[in-house]
A and B are shown apart, each in its own frame.
Chain A
Amino acid sequence: MSDLREQEKIGALLEQTYALCGARPDRADLLAWAEEALALARELDAREAPARLRSVLEEICTLVEAHPASFAPAADWAEERVPLESGEHALILLDALAGAPERAALDEVEAVEAVSLDRLLESLPEEGIGAADEAIRGARTWSARVVELFRRAAASADTVRLAASPEDAQEEDYVLLGRLDEGELVLTRGGPSVWVDWYGSGAPRLTIDGEEIAPRPLPQGEGRRWPLGSKQPPLSFRLALGDSVLTLRIDADAD
């Protein structure tokens, strides 16, 4: 399997893992997820995997550790497979699953004295808390802002056609789509036009719904720009840079 294909699969697996956290999944569904996770871990063990892939598997294992009650029903399954595995990543995954019942029991049984939230927060910098609040709001409104950006582009196109308000046609807004390595992928609107901009080094390639889009240079600074033309959501983006890949889906409607 190619690195990029692997990254897409592991990205989908990460999404599935998030969906399982805090839930009480059906055991059959959980084991299907576990089989898939183990298969990917084995792929990583079969050769020297890129750091980004390893970090995603680490995130999956951390989610299992953080939500043991959701994954505990797969513990027996994991214990049975431990003696059959020798790869590092496979063993780390199986170990996280096998230890889930104990962690779940400890989480349930242990009680601690109430911790003062006010006291905990008072030593933290206000600007840090402000940045965190903004990031959380950003994540919550991400889908709505993306949909709104496309709506404004469409409205602006109508405005341009009517020539009623050329100033509005020059309005710009943007939404951060994601980060890859040290670069940022941004959805940008300028009047009726929508682009995907890459602010960073390297020569990433963008594919939308399976079609590779020809890049242009950014108007300013280092990076690339891909015009979306008449493309409208739903859209599936895939940005590939070296052995890293970022995949995103933009739905037609906000959540």
Chain B
Amino acid sequence: MGEFRSLLAAQLDWLAVRVRQHARVAGLSDAQEDLLQETVKIALERLPRFFVGPSRNESARMRCLLLQALKSARTNLYRERAKTPVLGGDAPIERAETEDPESLLAGEQHRRAHLAEVRAELSPGVALVYLCIHFPEEVCAEDLRRAAAFRGGGAQGLARPVDEAWSLFDRLRTERLARTSEAEWKRLVVEVLFSAAPLGEASREDLERGIRNVDTRLARARAKLGLGPSSNQGEPT
């Protein structure tokens, strides 16, 4: 068996799982095979440069290469689907100065790509807070379910049962979002996610702790997405 084939074979099950995860959260579930194929193609192209020098933990090196290739492959698939270059998840989304049909379409494509990047790159709890604050209209029950299921690394999950939190969030988004200030919306998000008390009855301590938690997660999200620090934690659009 050739060297590349052998190293790839050893990582293939792991890679297939990661491809499925990335495809699912990035809305590319129908393109898993393409994503896997593109990933391996990119890894093959980059390998000679990546493997220069002395041997060191070969399987770790291969995984690192495959994971970086997977991220590039995901971007490539977006570009292919959009048929227009996207700025990628690294760039903040900016509203077009003139809202003609082309710029609106491009803006929507960028937005979709950014949302997919958020769900793929951020841990569920961080992604949920980022979406709730910056893209509340895009939050779905699955986002809450993923965050609730993840309790590793000190993450808190959700203070309420998922169905209750989702129902409350959906109602607030419909009834209050349009007429609520940024600061007030953040407080409502904190109440939904980090307090089990009825709406409006969260303790001051819970609210303060929750707001610190939200700010911390937003900072993590912005760092991970390469968006740079924000002077306020409001909508980046």
Contact = CB atoms under 8 A, between A and B. Distances in A.
A18 B57 contact: yes
A1 interface: no
A213 interface: no
Given A120-B40, A143-B54, A66 B67 contact: yes
Given A112-B13, A124-B44, A132-B4, A105 B53 contact: no
B32 to A, nearest CB: 9
Contact of B60 (A63, A117, A135): A63
Given A63-B64, A83-B216, A117-B5, A22 B126 contact: no
Contacts of A99: 123, 153
A111 to B, nearest CB: 8
B44 A255 contact: no
B45 A128 contact: yes
Contact of A91 (B59, B212, B219): B219
Interface residues of A, number: 68
B74 to A, nearest CB: 14
B36 interface: yes
B224 A95 contact: yes
Contacts of B17: 106-107, 110-112
Given A75-B154, A129-B2, A66 B55 contact: no
Interface of B: 2-5, 7-9, 12-14, 16-18, 20-21, 36-37, 40-41, 44-45, 47-61, 63-64, 66-68, 122-124, 126, 150, 152-155, 212-213, 216, 219-220, 222-224, 226, 228-229
Given A21-B57, A63-B60, A75-B153, 6 more contacts: A62-B68, A67-B60, A79-B155, A91-B219, A98-B155, A100-B152
